[in-house]
Structure 1
């Protein structure tokens, strides 16, 4: 059974609202009374990559710990004139067949590759805002980009509206998909013309949590299925943009995330006024990395909200990609 149109309308509107509207205390100052409202979503089938690119399944058969569902993967695209530079945002829902799509370097290849995890609260995926647009930035720098469409919903620590609480599922299938994607990229390094020692990860929001998990949880989160699972899933460098799920109730650090000196050099960026994922997520993770002796470059912007991605040209937060470029060059990845 496919999701109802009403369900996707509500889900998309919630996504547009969550991804960066001003907090209530600032709304009177930042949103005029007659401000235009978001458009009605355009619904579609399973997400497809840009023309000329192919997405391939992460698993040779049924993914581990697969959940039986009759829901088919769908997309929903809408525009919020007040956010995201007034351009459409596409969300992907009910992903049961996880994939990866390789975006080849557009300029002279550096030998580096970045595996990208979009955000969406482990309920949906912001596949363009925090996925393909990141690949456009990276490939223009000579970096091969691999966009991961991991399983959602409920595939990692998530907010459950039914109980007004957060839940952690028995099987972290999003982490399984993330680890598998890194292993596949490393196993196929020769075919992809990349250096297996220069494979990084980039994640936004919930995807930033996957960055922290893959950086520190190196044992397989699933029973190995083939020879690829004997390859290391540790990234060589990591970038977490406005990460979530690390800072738990009362400001406690995620008890399931043990940061060690095996974590790679890490770049973190977030805005202090993020209304979705509190700044404590970046602060706690940066502190944990420091205590473990792992170098981290941290940029905290006064303004920027949530889900600024690559569309926030105004203000200092729009400089994060330039700062990341300099950091990538400093660690020898550009």
Structure 2
């Protein structure tokens, strides 16, 4: 694109940096020459309103209908034709959505059912295959190990090929290995076959949350998600019952035939009617049918050995690296592993306890596993009932009465109002373990250890009250529902911390939150530069939380730094996408039409700000540049953008700001960058603006191979020049 200047025309190419700082001894043009495409440095001219139009370079006009286009003419991203696009899974009929939901839930049931159905067959298989019961127990438990190893492969492949091919290719392979277990003639072959069966069953568990996020909007996702969470727990509960019945009447090999039966009914039969739901795959398929050019692929131009090498050395090693270096990930995984370890220990211990101590046969022992299913059902009912009957009505009442938030709280209700669920999560696990061990040791009535199992079964779903979609790993994690804000800290990973805090605000359009791409990944980058990085998971604006929920959460996070002893350090803020709008709001005056008892005290002074591709004001009524743009949903989101327009509401003390945008972004027009930069300059603060003419929407940090991937290094140089890394 071209940007006119008051004195002379200035060409803006792939990267345009604008700064009001004095000339630096650093040769910026030399740095830009290192990028793949040339760039021109220009001074930002606040007297020009790009919204009024400017002559564009004809060489940069995209021609999507051309059969052969250069890489510069290819689109940076694909999107729906509009809010009513029938291809969008959110617009599918209710029957289609529930069919997809029931199918993916049934597939998850098969994946976990296969893990526990072998439990009653442990002793019989050891005897027939001339092995020990210990090795037979290993054959039972190694299936779970296969599930663990298969997970890191499933998520990356689904991003390339889509949900449907991955599920309906891997599950038939799983069925073939299960078929092999039914004909196994040695314990060694049984161990190997069950491991690979678990490996290829992994997508049945790792794809569910992502699939439901594809087809259900956040406000309608709680019901389908509850169903999906319950079915994997019901699999282990029903597996031992049915496994015991067929083992006692037909032999242990019939546990394999039972798995195959459910695979045919719940996986193979629905496959022809199951639709792909992953947005990038759907859009690329439609673009091919329309003979339109496709966006650049991350592996485009790579040879097959290079693609495999990149996948093996980066994608597969990243989860283990995170496990060993990220305390949050390590702690959460350790707790989850402990719970699942106890779950499978129960499956192995129940046949022994009820056969030895209570004289049950295999079928009667199988029925005792119903305690686990009862616990899951009760816990799920408790969660839904607590939310609908207790918490949400009180939130609505507080909003209707305009009750101010309690002191030191970030919601309309005191945090203690949610504690009843927290009380139930951890203690019931301890109660269940105590009841089971004590009752079995003293041969108390058999109902007591069965009730103890229900306590254990109730622990799993209750711990899932915080909805975070981790189907594609922590680096791609998405918060789909937040009822209470969370703040995660990342310590500096350098030997010489720079003594500064930085608050990181991810995007997601205020209806989701890209915790991974625009939160954790950014925190890792900044912690590597010596910052104490804090990722905020804030609430969304809706009828339950109110319009100003995300801004109140962000302001509260900054003030909390001081209360927790971090106030001696200078602070900055980094926000991308809607998180950039939220970051800019921290530089603005708090709207007088909102009630917040802590608003008058303001927020601590920010030393600097980093803002990327943020919808600053083009979503506000009267300032939109897209003709006839419909109002955003939910209404509270539109009201937030209408009320908070940072470019014209900045306070007098505005810090130096680094701004980065895509010049061709159809979702967040680049005029937002010009408006914000002009507002900051009018407030008397220096600003550096970089506009990449060809960059994908939401480019974040993972656009390797594109010119826009240089923006973090440019930002680092800016921070060094400003003294923020000293």
TM-score for the superposition, normalised by structure 2: 0.35
* Residues matched between the structures, number: 286
Cα deviation, 1:229-262, whole Å, max 9, x if unaligned, reads 9573342211111111422343499663312332
Cα–Cα, structure 1 residues 87 and 172, in superposed 2: closer, same or farther, change >3 Å? closer
1:96 aligns to what? 483
Cα–Cα, structure 1 residues 14 and 143, in superposed 2: closer, same or farther, change >3 Å? farther
Q: Which has the higher contact order (CA 8 A, sep 6+)?
A: 1
Cα deviation, 1:275-295, whole Å, max 9, x if unaligned, reads 321112112111111222221
Q: How does 1:79-90 map to 2 (within 5 A)?
A: 89-90=476-477
Moved more, 170-179 or 240-249: 240-249
2:56 aligns to what? none
Structure 1 residue 327 displacement after superposition = 1.2
Contact 1:275-1:305 within 8 A present in 2 as well:
no
Distance 1:16 1:206 in 2: 20
Contact 1:239-1:268 within 8 A present in 2 as well:
yes
Match of 2:624 among 241, 250, 261: 250
Does residue 74 (structure 1) correspond to residue 473 (structure 2)? The answer is no
Distance 2:625 2:558 in 1: 30
1:51 aligns to what? 330
Contact 2:665-2:697 within 8 A present in 1 as well:
yes
Q: What is the root-mean-square deviation in Å for CA atoms of aligned residues?
A: 4.1
Match of 2:596 among 220, 223, 247: 223
Structure 1 residue 114 displacement after superposition = 0.7
2:583 aligns to what? 211
Cα deviation, 1:133-184, whole Å, max 9, x if unaligned, reads 001101111111011010025389xxxxxxxxxxxx9531000000001111
Does residue 232 (structure 1) correspond to residue 511 (structure 2)? The answer is no
Match of 2:689 among 291, 298, 310: 298
Cα–Cα, structure 1 residues 239 and 147, in superposed 2: closer, same or farther, change >3 Å? same
Cα–Cα, structure 1 residues 49 and 133, in superposed 2: closer, same or farther, change >3 Å? same
Structure 1 residue 224 displacement after superposition = 3.7
2:551 aligns to what? 175
Cα–Cα, structure 1 residues 275 and 251, in superposed 2: closer, same or farther, change >3 Å? closer
Distance 1:131 1:14 in 2: 25
User: Alignment partner of 1:28: what SS?
Assistant: coil
Distance 2:683 2:478 in 1: 36
Distance 2:562 2:672 in 1: 29
1:318 aligns to what? 709
Contact 1:65-1:171 within 8 A present in 2 as well:
no
Cα deviation, 1:6-46, whole Å, max 9, x if unaligned, reads 752325899965xx99xx8x9922259xx9xxxxxxxxxxx
Does residue 65 (structure 1) correspond to residue 456 (structure 2)? The answer is no
Does residue 280 (structure 1) correspond to residue 634 (structure 2)? The answer is no
Match of 2:720 among 315, 329, 334: 329
Cα deviation, 1:273-326, whole Å, max 9, x if unaligned, reads 223211121121111112222211110001111111110121221011111111
Contact 2:662-2:695 within 8 A present in 1 as well:
yes
Cα–Cα, structure 1 residues 319 and 262, in superposed 2: closer, same or farther, change >3 Å? same
2:498 aligns to what? 110
2:517 aligns to what? 129
Does residue 149 (structure 1) correspond to residue 496 (structure 2)? The answer is no
1:29 aligns to what? 293
User: Alignment partner of 1:109: what SS?
Assistant: coil
2:574 aligns to what? 202
1:10 aligns to what? 215
Contact 1:180-1:233 within 8 A present in 2 as well:
no
Distance 2:278 2:543 in 1: 17
Q: Which runs of 5+ in 2 are unaligned?
A: 1-100, 102-208, 218-275, 300-326, 333-405, 422-463, 627-640
Structure (1 or 2) with the larger CA radius of gyration: 2
Cα–Cα, structure 1 residues 195 and 332, in superposed 2: closer, same or farther, change >3 Å? farther
Contact 2:662-2:670 within 8 A present in 1 as well:
yes
Moved more, 141-150 or 233-242: 233-242
Cα deviation, 1:84-108, whole Å, max 9, x if unaligned, reads xx99622111101101111111111
Q: Which runs of 5+ in 1 are unaligned?
A: 36-47, 54-58, 80-85, 157-168
Distance 1:254 1:243 in 2: 15
TM-score for the superposition, normalised by structure 1: 0.72
Does residue 265 (structure 1) correspond to residue 656 (structure 2)? The answer is yes
